[in-house]
Amino acid sequence: MELIQTISIIAVAAGLLSALIILIDVIRHPQEMPIMNIVWPINGLYLGPFAIWFYWKLGKKGMHDKKPFWQSVFVSASHCSGGCTAGDAIGVPIVFFTGLTVGGSALFAHYTVEFILAYIFGLFFQVFSIVPMKKKMGENISWLRGFGEAAKADTLSLIAFEVGMFGWMAIVHFLLFTNPPSPDTFVYWFMMQIAMILGLATSYPANWLLVKRGVKHGM
């Protein structure tokens, strides 16, 4: 347990430091799409130094700069993951400090609360990309219609993200530990980092499909 504790502290610290480095840079050099000023630092929390590399490689390119298809899909997936991560990270302490359970299970309470918050944050993150993007393309779109477009573009992607994340946390809860780690430990948040990475991975194919079919735009 001492080894996993040490690894967890290093991983969480690396995530926080990476998020801070990206945050400082987006303050000095704001993104063309303002919501990405929030998305890139959030992704630093779980991707750590890899997020810095992705940010320098992809985030420095403008919204209309030509990217290979896989890169534009990755940025779209990371944008979705940023909203999901924000909702999940806020949901964890709510469940923990309230002692909420669903069907007598704290894990199911986490799933319920975090999914709802991830969906809310995901919609807001999506609408704040869709409306500005449409307006730059010369289409006058209302914020109300933007939320409808956001739901259409983000629902499948969000579900795919949560499948990866929730699946990993179920493995953590039922298989990896005799006593599952508590949200007030570094080990728990290291497990959450892994869960979010897997969520990004499972949401990538969904974003590929959505972008390919024109349901959402590559970024």
Q: What are phi and psi of 183, to 5 degrees?
A: -60, -10
**Single-letter amino acid code for the residue at 160:** A
The answer to whether 117 touches 87, Cβ cutoff 8 Å, is yes
SS3 labels along 155-214: HHHHHHHHHHHHHHHHHHHHHHCCCCCCCCCHHHHHHHHHHHHHHHHHHHHHHHHHHHCC
Q: What is the spatial distance between Cα 65 and Cα 95, in angstroms, rounded to a whole number?
A: 42
pLDDT tens per residue across span 46-84:
999 999 999 998 887 655 567 788 888 898 888 888 888
Distance CA 219, CA 212 (A): 12
pLDDT tens sequence across 168-198: 999 999 998 888 899 999 999 999 999 999 9
Using the 8-state DSSP alphabet, how is residue 67 labeled? -
pLDDT digits (tens, 9 = 90+) for 114-167: 999 998 888 888 877 776 666 666 667 766 776 777 777 788 888 999 999 999
Alpha helices in 99-142 (DSSP H): 106-136
